Structures are given as structure tokens and as C-alpha cells.
Structure 1
Amino acid sequence: MTDIQVRPVTEATIEAIARRVLWLSTAMIDHANKHRPNPGGVKVGGHQASSASIVSIMTELWLEQLSADDRVSVKPHASPVLHALNYLLGSLDREALTTLRSFGGLQSYPSRSKDPDPVDYSTGSVGIGATAPIWGAIARRYVADHGSSPGTGRQYSLVGDAELDEGAVWEAIGERTVSELGEVVWIIDFNRQSLDRVVPDTNTSRLQAMFAAAGWQVIEAKYGRTLTSLFERKGGESLRNRIDTMPNAEYQRLLRSPAEEVVDRLLAGGQASNRDDLAAFLDRTLTELTAAELLAALRDLGGHDINTLRDSFATIDDHRPTALFAYTLKGWGLASEGHPQNHSALISETQLAELRERCNIGDDPFPSFRDADPTAPRLAGPDEDGCAAACAAAARRLRRHEAVASPGFAPPLDLGWSPTGIATTQAALGRTLMDLSRRAPEIASSIVTVSPDVSSSTNLGGWVNKVGVWSPSARHDWFSDDPETILHWREHSAGQHLELGIAEVNLVGALGELGATWSRWGHPLIPIGVLYDPFIARALEPWTFGVYAGGQSILVGTPSGVTLSAEGGAHQSIITPSIGLEQPGVLSYEPAFAIDLEWMLLECIRRIGSPSGTASYLRLSTRPIDQALAALPSDSDQRELRRRLVIAGAYPLRRAVARAERHVNIAVVGAVTPEALEAAERLDALGISCDVLCITNPGLVFDAVQARGGVQPDAASSTGNTAEGEWMLRTVFGVDDQSPLVTVLDGHPHTLAFLSGIHRTRGVHLGVRSFGQSGDLESVYAHHGIDASAITRAALSLT
């Protein structure tokens, strides 16, 4: 674990730096909203109060606690604090502070891929950034167990207390492996406010008990030393009892009251048995303190007291994860401190001027300690030079070696397998992984599969048996000698499969971090996550966030559509083809045949683990299909041509022997390909010639159509090649084919509706638009209008 040593930085110096951080974070939000030109008048926004509450915690972390190997996930609304610290430590230019939430500038929330300064984890969606360091810890340990040296730093999460309402948080905390991750430290910014209000009753003991029950160490930094010293006076326990039992809203109303009301408010509530003792204590105390000093002492919470924070960090046990509850005030140090509606409120110019004076800021709104503003008054206590020295020392300590750029992977283009018989694309996944381990073991050794308790039902059994299950510590397999056991669960640190329980959000969170090891430590992995395709929507937000943050992985959804008819309407996935089409930075394929899946998977692997890499999504099926329908060419050149077209997005599966006067094209995706081929045969018998075009990646076809029209995809999210796309369009759809078009897939029909625009032809688009039900495949396809008869009728209506 991290070797943290006490450094000779005084409490006064840390507090002075914290005041500067408070000013900078507040000022950059103020500048974005009030001083930067905004001709459109759209609200810029920002969160001065949410930033202020965590200033002391983050300043202490960066100035004294962190090492270069540590990683920190910063709560979304505190991004200005992160930028202020990076500025003071010399890793962000001054000009950037004026660009918060502007185009090309500092992002609204911490972004690992878009911000110009060091950001360890992208955050923004509630709960996702909080849990990311858990998956980061697992990824680091996995990399270390598989031949790399990623260091041994802590993984910190700076979590807003309202984030603990998010279900994804507790899914992650409850994961069995997490209790072994001693490097994970969560610091809960416990300000007891949500967006709209002061939370009336936050049951801290219940939350802490939930962490403890999951095997976490729980530390509480509730009160600062000034307030604690009052509790230690004679009768002080009556004050502590009053505050401990006071509703959150009453406490914060007390803090916002005039000093002369503080005694009356303290005595107005609470338990009658405590009131006389409290009154006597306050009488004695007010002979030494003024009412204003008493009120100031009541604000002295642990999350703002440097020594309390130091003591708390010193007690962290690195053998289990830690949850540190640091009590804070939302809006600490601002005029909006503790107000129930301060979440996104901006302080006024007058209030900003008062803050400027308290923080010793001169004319320059963005002073660092490296080039102290000569117009600013000298700091009381530690001077500018002392603060500059402390920041410089922290910067040296936190300087990291850049990870060596990874060249990615170079898997074979073709494993040489020619599938025969009846097979499913889902089963082909397991078969391809096994073939890859034999044909390209150096590539297979970098594969890590992840599953939410569906390994056997998604055909990964053979792979899991071969490579074993990764675990931080080895576990005995009690069924290793059971002859009836087919799936062997051998858990050890060299395993290549992770099982994360029935929690899709955990799965895609782990995928995102496993897919970022190429950039964190220069050790690329090939993460392949398998889950039921209907549950992609459940995991969509964290998956999207992982892709946004640069996570490169392969997500496999299977089984899919209404083709899983036996499982009924509740388990269908109508919209997932659209997700594949529209998701930025994702290469999405849906194979019709086993050989298609092999080529697609190899291409997805090739796209992983480098700065130009992408994530991928494969939509598979459990429908058994006769592989002879693939009409796979035996000639090696023709086979390579087919492979290139499969990867480019579409290929001609069936061409009419002779084009009749009446001709129709059928474009089909995935599992319903046999129905399209059957419809083509029926149309032939009716004197209507027919081509069947197999669409493997609607997104790449769409990009190619757009490029033909002069609309280039965003380079940052494009997954296609313009020249290859134009070649594919000409090869598959012809130069000026005016034949009408029927499109069909087991998904929403709009996914392929754009194909009619390639040559501005008439079209009918078939797919699934209603909830399904259990039944045999023939009945279900007929019900949704995607069977051979429906395709034939659609073609006849066009011809």
C-alpha cells in the first residue's frame, strides 16, 4: 500500500492553501457565468456550494496524503476544486481557468479524455464515478497478476452523500471481491444536502452499518478540534448530545441564524432532561466566548478541520476497503453556507468581494503562489513563499511517469475455420475464443472475460475451464473431483475470467476500467463482457460513461430480440440495434453466421488497446442456423473479399442468377437471415428476381452514406474508414440500383430505414415494434411480421 509519511507542512499553511482553492474554484464559476461573453443567453451553471464543501478534504489530500501511484475520482460538482489544485501545483495553465464549461475548455465535470489537466476518473453520472475506483483497483490488481508493474497506490472516491442513494453504489459495495480491496478508500462529503433541500433525517449509523456489514472499515470525522474541545469541558456532553440528536435542517438553520439567537435556538429543542445541563454549560461557556465565537465553533466540522482529517487518514487500514464519513457544510466559507437552496446558486458580486477580502486576493482573480499577486495583502500566518514551497513539494511528489503508448493488438484476420452444420452465433463466441487460444496464444493471453453469473448460459464454459477464474486470492474448488461437474470453477490470481454476480452495472463498470489499462499503465487488455442482450439498456449509462472515459472493451449481448421467444416479452431487446447504430465511439456488429462472428471478433480485438482504439458491441443469437446458408466461398481470394465486406458493414449473401424485369433487394440483419433467403426463393418462383444483402454493421453503412453526401463523421467518435465505406456501398448496393428495398431485422425497423436513401428507392421496413410473448419461433416471427411470408408480401407490395 501507499507509504504515506507526515510531511513538515503546518496546519496554517494547508488552511491558507485551502482558502486560495476556495477562492479560485468560486471565482472560475463566477467568471463563467458573469464575465465571459454569452451571446446566446443560455445558463452556464456551476456549483460553488458543492465545490466549497470539499475544499478542505481535497487540499489535505493533494498537499499531504496522495502519492504518484494513487488515483482519485472527484465528485462531479467539485471539478473546479480539482482544476484549482492542478493550477496551484503547476499542471494547468492560468488561461484555462477562464474556460470552465466553454467549448473546448474545462469540462462541466471531471473528464479524463477531454480536460487538459490530470484527471484520473471521468465522473458526472451519479454513482458511476463513485464506484469507478473499485473497478480501477480490480484492473490494477489483474494487470499486476498478469505480468505488469502498475504500482500499489490507493484508489480514492470523493463521494457526495446524496450519491449513496444510487443503487449502483450498493451493488458495487456488495460485490464479494470488493471486501478484499484494501486500497479502496471512499471519502463521503457528508454535507447532508441534496439538490433541492437539507435532507431531513440522514441515518448515518445505518449507512455506516451497511458499509461495515460489507467488510469495510468505517471512520467518522464528525467534529473539528475546536468543537471537540467544547465537548470536553465540564457539561460539554450536553452540547454534543443536543447537536447529535438535532435534525439536519434545524442544525443548518441554527448556523445561519444571528449570533444573538444561538443560545435560544439551542435551548428551544432537544430532550427536556438535557436542557438544564445545556443551559448551565452555555452560561459558563459564554463567560469566556462571545455568542459569535460560539456560533463559529458550532461550524467546526471534521471535514473542514485539517488535523481531524490528518488523524482520520492515519487510521486507514490497508487490508480492507475504507469509508471515511467526513462531516461538512455545503457552501463552506461562502455566504450561501448551509442554505437549503444553495446547490447551484451563485453568490452575489458583493458577497464575492467579501470573500476576496477574507481570502487575501488582490486585483488578479486567479493568483497562484508561484507568481504571487503584488497587489494582494500578505497572508496572515504562512506567507506566499511557504505556500508556494508546499505546492511545489506536492507537485514533485505527485509527478507521474507517462505510460508507454500501446501499439494495440494484431490478431489474425482469419482463423481458417469453415463452420458446418447447425450452429448459433452465441456458441460461435466460445468456439472462437478457444480457437484463438490455439492459433494465437499471445493474443488470447490478454483476453479477460467478464460475466454477471451467465458464463455457462452464454457458452463461455469451455473458455472458463481452460483459463480459470481470476480472484485476488486462490480459493479451493470443492467440486474439482465431481465427475458430473461440467463447468470447473478454479479461482486463482492467474485466471482470465471475472464473475461479478448478477449486476450488469458492475460488469460494464469493470469493463470500462479493464479497457483503460492500456492508457493508465501501458498494459493493454482485451476485456470481453457477456450479458443478456435485453439488459444492455439496464447497463447503458455506465457503459456509455466508460466509453466516454476512454475504456476500450467488447460488450457481447446474447440472446437477443424476440428470437429468444421462449423467454417471453419481458426479455426481448427491440432497441439494442439502435444503440449499436447510434452509440458514439462504439463499433457494433450483428452476425448472421458463425464465420461472421469470428471475423467480427478479431476485428474488434484489433480495434482495442491504443489511442485510436474503440469499444465494440456484438449482438448475438441463440437461434440455430444451417451454416451452409452462408454460402462461404471456397476460393481464398473470394473468402477474403467476403471477410472485408463483413467488417466494412455489409455483403451480398445472394445474387439473382438473372435480373428479371421486376427485381427487389432484401436487406437483412442477423437471426432472421433464413427468412430473408426463403422469401427470396418464393419471389423467384413468382418471377421476381431478388438479391439478399446481409447487413453486419448498420452504423458503418450509415457513416458511408453520410460520407458520400459530404457529411464526415466526428473524428473523435468515428469507427469507419471513408474509402472502405464507399467501396462497400458500391460493391453491395451497386452504383445506381433503383430496385425497391425491403429491410428486416429482429429489432426496431428504423435501424435500417435509411438504406432506402442510398439510391432514393421505395422501401418497406420490417421489424419489431410491440412487446412479444412466449411461443415457438414460427409463431412469434409471424406475429411480429418478420417471417418469410411477411417479407414476401412486403416485396410484392413494392413490385
Structure 2
Amino acid sequence: MTSGQPSGPDAAIADDRLAVLTEVEKRVLWLSTAIIDHANRVRPNPTGLKVGGHQASSASMVTIMTALWFEHLRAQDRVSVKPHASPVLHAVNYLLGELDERYLTTLREFGGLQSYPSRSKDPDPVDYSTGSVGIGATAPIWGALARRYVDSKGGGAGTGRQYSLVGDAELDEGACWEAILDPMVAELGEVVWIVDLNRQSLDRVVPNIGAFRIQGMFEAAGWQVLTVKYGRLLHELFERPGGDALRRRIDDMPNPEYQRLLRCTPAQLRERLPDSPELQGLVDALDDDTLLAAIRNLGGHDLQAVGDAFRAIDDTRPTVILAYTVKGHGLATAGHPQNHSSLLTADQLGELAASVGTSVDDPWARFADDSAAAELCRETATRLHRAPVPALPTVDVPTDIGRTPSGKATTQAALGRTLLDLTRSAPEAAARVVTLCPDVSSSTNLGGWVNKVGVWSADERRDWFDDDPETILHWRERPTGQHLELGIAEGNLVGLLGELGATWSRWGQPLLPIGVLYDPFVERALEPWSFGIYAGGQSILVGTPSGVSLAPEGGAHQSVTTPSVGLEQPGCTTYEPAFAIDVEWTLLASLARLGRPGGTSAYLRLSTRPIDQTLAAVPTDPAARERRRTQVVAGAYPLRRAPGKPDVTIAAMGAIVPEALAAADRLAEQGIAADVVCVTSPGLLFDAVQARAGHGDADTWVLDAAFPAHRAAPLVTILDGHPHTLAFLAGINQVRATHLGVSRFGQSGDLESVYRHHGIDADAVVTAALDVTD
């Protein structure tokens, strides 16, 4: 739990302080607008390609961000900024001395300021990468959980609020509500969302934004709801005769009518606004400037009102501040329904410069050193200065635990077995492992691990079934636990996975996070997981069970394209091991790549099909075993070599390897010699192929080990997934090839029938080999 928000006097901001804040607010508005203008109108653009930027979306956030950064934020706090307000963040960082002036002209330029805030690519401080709607908004929730988890394991993560600056249209994303409704979130008092309620989307004014409905949904989830609707001027007018009628008129009018009033002249306002004699009297008593200012005087643009909301935050539960704003506030385009990507004209930009006290000719001028505004910037920069992230501790992950599985086993079960073995062989590394599931711990064979390490909770909770002899999975919740289970919402799972995978860069405390979910739902979780990788979160995602090998589950639960997803995902190494020992070796190698600069994530695709482990033919000689291990981790290994030169090579992956071996035996009976290569990582093999052609710097030795040129032969590839995943292997030695896999929706049935239906059984391999060698 965080402590209360420290600040100066609890009373309203003093007038002199408010005047300085207003001066900074105007400069932030100017800088954010000018950054976008320069990118689109000043910087040379020989291709004519649209650069883009969002002056109006930035303008609606200027007051909120000025109040937050220059009055309330602390060094230990973290902020996720809505994507289209990235120029405001850069403007703030520039005023605080955190961004060199040369970058102000590089918005969306190669090597410059990114389109949206990026932790890994922007040159100035960014707490959370945003850009994919809903994901950046929810990231601070998972950041809060990750901080609490790290802190429960010995401290070092400190305290601090986790702010999300959210556009109202972003609340349309289901990811937001999935996160808000998770039971753990109601306990996160450090989470604060500020909703930019400008009631506009990309193309239009939203007819009914449903603010009261949104408020009710947050309240039902246990959040504190603070509404900042009106500024000081309107509150003063509400106290005058006719004020109640004015409030009622604004409250009752639909959003489009209100937005239209923002575009009206004083004369038009006097005609359109009154709907009663009382309101007519009030309007008649106002001069034109006051009338124009009043209709725009929403709380989200009132530094005092926004500050009051920040001071009212209750740190015992999550808080949402609904801040009513005008999209484009302070700009000539304010309130226009098509202002989302519009740019001020040169004349309008000049008028803006004059109104805020700066110059188009010197757009990046700082405040005079002896000014109160400059002093506020220096004071804020000192307050927000963060100590460097401490040096990372060494996490030694073994490469081989030493067991050689026998009998029949599944790769899914091998995951839990390896984690348990790790607690005994490398307890310090095992202590940094944290596993996550969306309510599938027992069905994905993590039960033994969960029983061993317990379930994480900020506070210890009683296990009411600890004395029930029929309970197999023990749900012991305590701060020492290492397993977290979220509801059935894969987006939440990978959102938290990404933030747990970023603790090494935030607090110098590396974790080894593993998320386990049904493989058919990997694609559902792919966008937020991919975005987490982009933001620097290093983690392992395990999809299990996978493919049509879970035959009784039917077509709806048979993943087809996930092998190629792993092949194509940047920043990720994908493995689909065939044997239990392959799971151990690839999992350990993946863990060793986490939690460090230059580290990478991993995706393991596992199966529930029991396979005879003696088929792996693991060498008994230590040197030969290590050679096999390095090949497994590198992407492929020769599982069987035919005597002499082969007539055909069968490259198989995952659960289908037994069919490949059976087919090789049958081909041998017909006098056709077959090599069998077990592919463990198509992604690593593809990288090696590219590097051999001069594209990239991956190791290429694995190609010579698995597919040596002197054994080049026609090729058959097979996997329980889309056949194109391994089709590129034919290019290694430029051989004839045919590719077997699954490219149709499946159906329920026994394994033999389903494999035959999709043409991935031993008969299909034999036929393909005969065709390709004919």
C-alpha cells in the first residue's frame, strides 16, 4: 500500500503558484503542438508520405499532465501516457532537462521520437510503452502487481502510485474491463486512472459517452470514482441567478450539441444556449468573452480542479478520475468533430504562439533562467530524479539437470517436472521463477510445482481445504508463493507476464516469469504479449496442449497456426520439443536468456500426447550428450541417420516425431534409406538460413549439423501445425520437398483417425517420401 500523496498546503493552490503553473501549461501546449507541426510542415519530406501526429488529442491532456508532473508526481511513481499524447510527454521532459532540444524536430523520424511513448526506443524517460489501445492503459495495473511481488521477495521495488492517462474511447477496449474486473485489482490502492473524457473518437463526436454508466462500472469493481466536470468559472456562474438552469442545460444536452456549441460565436451561443427565462437572464448578463470562456470551462482544463482531484485520492483502493475535457482545447480546432489528426494552419500556429507568449521563429525557447517558471521546472526535475537502477545480480541457470526420462511421458508433464527439479538443483534460480495461469494450473500439469512453491498473495490467506484428504492441488496463498492465477482472461495473463519480465530494468531485480495457457488461445493473447516484448518485458509463454493431437477436444481447440506465430514473433525464440529431455534443455536455455540487457523471450509449444522416451536415443557419453543438448537448443538435431547416403530426409517437429520414425522404418523395408531430423525451433533455423545468406548474424553451424550438404536428399517436413512453418527447410540444400501439416479446422476423434484425416500419420509420410524420391 502506498502512503498518502505528499504536497504543500492542503488548501487550494496559491494564486502566485497557480499563475506559474499556468505559464508552464501554456508552454507545454505550445511545445507539443510545435513538435507535431515541425514534423509535418517544416521537416523535409521528399516521399510525400503522411507523417501524422495528434495536436488535438495532445491538447486535451495538457492541463492534466502539467498538474500531475509539476505539482503531484513523485520519483517513485510511474505513468502510462495515452498514445496520442506522446508530444506532451516529450514537451514535459524537455522542460525538465530530460530531452535534448535536437530531438524536438525528430517526431516520427528514423532514430527520433517515436510515434507513441516507447520505453525501449525513445531518448527520454518513458515509464510504459503505449500505442496498442487498451494495453498501455492496463500496464500500470500489472506494474503494480509486479512491484508488490518483487517487494515481497526481499524488497527493493519501493512504493509509488501507478498512473494511467487514458482516452475515453480507449475504454471501449475489452482489455480494460478484463483488467479492472480481476479480483486482485481491487486491492491495488496505488493504481490511478485519469480518463480524458473529451467525448470524441477518430471520426466523430460520440453521441452518448455513457459517463454515468462508466462511473457505475468502476464503482461496482470497487474503485474510487472522482469526477472533474466543471472549472472555477462555471462553478461561479452556477451560484448566480439562473445558475441552476445553466448546470441543468449543460448536463442534459447530448454530446454532439455541446461540441457544436464549442464552435459557435457569442451571438450564436446567445441564440442556442438558453432554454428557459432563467438561463436567458444569466446569458444576457455575461459579456462575450466570459460567455465563450464559460462554455469551454471544463474541469479537465482547470489546474485547481485537477489538483483537487489528485489531493482527494484514496490510496486504499484503485481510483479513476473522470476528467471532462475539450479535444483540442486551446487550439483553433477545439471541439471540431474531425480534429483528430488535423493540423493548425501557419496563421493559426502564429496566433497560438502570440497567445502563449512564445515565437514561431524561436519555437524551442526555454524559460528565462531567473523566471519563476524556470525555477518550477528545476524544482520538479529535482523532485522527480530517480536513482540509477542497481546492478543486476547474477542468476545462474543450469544447462542440464542430468535426468534421462524413460517410459512414456508428455512434453506438457515435463514442464512441471523440470521446474520441480530446478528447485533442488538450482534453488537460487528457482526462487526467481514465477508462474502464471488463467485458471488452468492443474490441467496443464503445474500442480506439483504449485504444491511445492505455493500461490503468491500480498497477505497470507487460510487454505480451507488443507485438511481435506481428497484435495490434490493445495492452494496455499502467501507472500512467499511463486504462482499467480488470474481469471480466464489471457490478455491479463500476458499483461502481467510482460511487467514481471520488466522488473530487471525497473528495479534491478530480475524475475524468470513463465505463463502457461492453452495453445489455441496463444493468438488471443498474442497482441498484448508481443507489445510486452516490445516494451522490454522478457518472459516465457507456454502453449499447451497444442495442435490436433488433443484430438477429443475438437476443431475449436486445435491450434493450427501457432507454430508459425512463434517463428515470426520478434524478440522471441520458439521451441516445440518432441521429448521430455528436449523440454528440460530448451526451458533452461530460455530461462537463462531472461532478465538481462539483450535478453529474449521464448514460446514453448507443448503436447499432451504420451511418447516413448526411448525414441529420443539420448547419448550416454557425457560429451555426446552435451553435443545433443547444444543441437536441441540451437534448433534441430539428427535423430536417426540411415547407413550410407540417404534417399530422403524426414524433418519432423513435436508430437509427430513418432510418425516420422515409424515411416522411416517402413521405408527402410522398401529399400529407401531415410534420415530423420528432429526440429526443435523453426525460428532459430530460419535465422541461421538468413545469416548464411548474409542477412543477420545468427550461428549457422546447426544447419551443417542437422542438414549437412553431403547428406542432401529430397525432403519431407511434417508437424502438427500449418505446413508452411517448415517449408523453408528445402532451401538449405536446394532439394525437392513436400510439406505435411494441418491447414484445416479439425474435429473430435481418436488420435489415429484425426492424424489420418489431416494427412499427418505414418502412411502420409511414407506416401510423401515415395512421391518425392520417385
For the aligned pair, the TM-score class normalised by the smaller chain equals: over 0.9
The residue type equivalent to 2:652 in the other structure is V
C-alpha separation in 1, matches of 2:529 and 2:315:
29
Contact 2:261 2:295 in 1 (8 A): no
Is 2:772 aligned against 1:798? yes
C-alpha separation in 2, matches of 1:468 and 1:555:
20
Contact 1:408 1:607 in 2 (8 A): no
Equivalent of residue 339 in structure 1, options 319, 336, 339: 336
Name the structure 2 match of 1:412. 398
Equivalent of residue 505 in structure 2, options 498, 519, 542: 519
User: Which deviates more from structure 2 when the two are superposed, residues 67-76 or residues 361-370?
Assistant: 361-370
Equivalent of residue 41 in structure 1, options 28, 48, 58: 48
Q: How does 1:304-343 map to 2 (within 5 A)?
A: 304-343=301-340
1:179-219, Cα deviation, whole Å (9 max, x unpaired):
00000000000100011101011111110010000000000
Contact 1:135 1:510 in 2 (8 A): yes
1:548-568, Cα deviation, whole Å (9 max, x unpaired):
000001100000111111110
Contact 1:745 1:767 in 2 (8 A): yes
Is 2:652 aligned against 1:668? yes
1:226-259, Cα deviation, whole Å (9 max, x unpaired):
1111011133111000000111110111121011
For the residue of structure 1 that corresponds to 2:700, the secondary structure is helix
For the residue of structure 1 that corresponds to 2:548, the secondary structure is helix
Name the structure 2 match of 1:694. 678
Is 2:307 aligned against 1:280? no
Alpha-carbon distance, 1:280 to partner: 3.3
RMSD: 1.2
Is 2:656 aligned against 1:656? no
Alpha-carbon distance, 1:677 to partner: 0.2
Is 2:540 aligned against 1:537? no
Name the structure 2 match of 1:271. none
For the residue of structure 2 that corresponds to 1:752, the secondary structure is helix
Structure 2 CA distance for partners of 1:407 and 1:366, relative to 1, 3 Å = farther
Tell me the number of residue pairs that the alignment of Structure 1 and Structure 2 aligns: 766
Alpha-carbon distance, 1:408 to partner: 5.3
Is 2:721 aligned against 1:747? yes
Name the structure 1 match of 2:688. 704
Name the structure 2 match of 1:144. 151
Equivalent of residue 419 in structure 2, options 433, 458, 463: 433
Alpha-carbon distance, 1:366 to partner: 3.2
C-alpha separation in 2, matches of 1:164 and 1:335:
27
Alpha-carbon distance, 1:291 to partner: 2.7
C-alpha separation in 2, matches of 1:408 and 1:231:
63
Contact 2:502 2:536 in 1 (8 A): yes
For the residue of structure 2 that corresponds to 1:537, the secondary structure is helix
C-alpha separation in 2, matches of 1:743 and 1:174:
45
C-alpha separation in 2, matches of 1:123 and 1:506:
16
Alpha-carbon distance, 1:364 to partner: 4.4
Contact 2:349 2:360 in 1 (8 A): no
Alpha-carbon distance, 1:475 to partner: 1.9
1:120-160, Cα deviation, whole Å (9 max, x unpaired):
00000000000000000000000000012211110000000
Is 2:83 aligned against 1:71? no
For the residue of structure 1 that corresponds to 2:497, the secondary structure is helix
Name the structure 1 match of 2:537. 551
Name the structure 2 match of 1:645. 631
Name the structure 1 match of 2:604. 618
1:481-530, Cα deviation, whole Å (9 max, x unpaired):
11111111111111111111100000000000000000000000000000
Equivalent of residue 113 in structure 2, options 106, 110, 114: 106
Contact 2:640 2:675 in 1 (8 A): yes
For the residue of structure 2 that corresponds to 1:56, the secondary structure is helix
Is 2:741 aligned against 1:757? no
The residue type equivalent to 1:221 in the other structure is V
Equivalent of residue 18 in structure 2, options 1, 11, 18: 11
Name the structure 1 match of 2:217. 210
The residue type equivalent to 2:194 in the other structure is I
Name the structure 1 match of 2:243. 236
Contact 2:494 2:525 in 1 (8 A): yes
1:444-479, Cα deviation, whole Å (9 max, x unpaired):
100110000000000000111111111122222111
Q: How does 1:470-619 map to 2 (within 5 A)?
A: 470-619=456-605
C-alpha separation in 1, matches of 2:449 and 2:17:
56
Name the structure 2 match of 1:681. 665
Name the structure 2 match of 1:291. 288
Structure 2 CA distance for partners of 1:605 and 1:321, relative to 1, 3 Å = same
Alpha-carbon distance, 1:738 to partner: 3.3
Q: TM-score, normalised by structure 2?
A: 0.98
C-alpha separation in 2, matches of 1:6 and 1:437:
50
C-alpha separation in 1, matches of 2:595 and 2:616:
31
C-alpha separation in 2, matches of 1:245 and 1:672:
65
C-alpha separation in 2, matches of 1:422 and 1:737:
32
Contact 2:195 2:322 in 1 (8 A): yes
1:576-617, Cα deviation, whole Å (9 max, x unpaired):
111111100001111000000000010001000100111111
C-alpha separation in 2, matches of 1:69 and 1:91:
17
Unaligned runs of 5+ in 1: 269-274, 373-383, 714-721
Alpha-carbon distance, 1:371 to partner: 5.4
For the residue of structure 2 that corresponds to 1:684, the secondary structure is helix
C-alpha separation in 2, matches of 1:777 and 1:116:
54
Name the structure 1 match of 2:363. 366
1:643-700, Cα deviation, whole Å (9 max, x unpaired):
000001100001113336xx10000100000000000001000000011000101111
Segments ≥4 residues shifted beyond 6 Å: none
C-alpha separation in 1, matches of 2:312 and 2:379:
24
Name the structure 1 match of 2:184. 177
Unaligned runs of 5+ in 2: none
Equivalent of residue 454 in structure 1, options 427, 440, 444: 440
Equivalent of residue 62 in structure 1, options 61, 65, 69: 69
Contact 1:742 1:795 in 2 (8 A): yes
Contact 2:350 2:360 in 1 (8 A): no
Q: TM-score, normalised by structure 1?
A: 0.95
Is 2:615 aligned against 1:629? yes
For the residue of structure 2 that corresponds to 1:171, the secondary structure is helix
C-alpha separation in 2, matches of 1:323 and 1:223:
17
User: Which deviates more from structure 2 when the two are superposed, residues 115-124 or residues 483-492?
Assistant: 483-492
C-alpha separation in 2, matches of 1:359 and 1:370:
12
C-alpha separation in 2, matches of 1:496 and 1:694:
33
Contact 1:88 1:368 in 2 (8 A): no
Name the structure 2 match of 1:158. 165
The residue type equivalent to 1:684 in the other structure is A
Contact 2:32 2:91 in 1 (8 A): yes
The residue type equivalent to 2:289 in the other structure is A
For the residue of structure 1 that corresponds to 2:47, the secondary structure is coil
1:20-57, Cα deviation, whole Å (9 max, x unpaired):
01111000101001111111111000000000000000
Contact 2:435 2:516 in 1 (8 A): yes
Contact 1:408 1:608 in 2 (8 A): no
Equivalent of residue 429 in structure 2, options 443, 449, 468: 443
For the residue of structure 1 that corresponds to 2:99, the secondary structure is coil
The residue type equivalent to 1:299 in the other structure is R
C-alpha separation in 2, matches of 1:770 and 1:225:
63
| % identical aligned pairs | 65
Name the structure 2 match of 1:783. 757
1:744-798, Cα deviation, whole Å (9 max, x unpaired):
0001111110100001000001110110000001111111111100000000001
Alpha-carbon distance, 1:368 to partner: 4.3
C-alpha separation in 2, matches of 1:737 and 1:30:
61
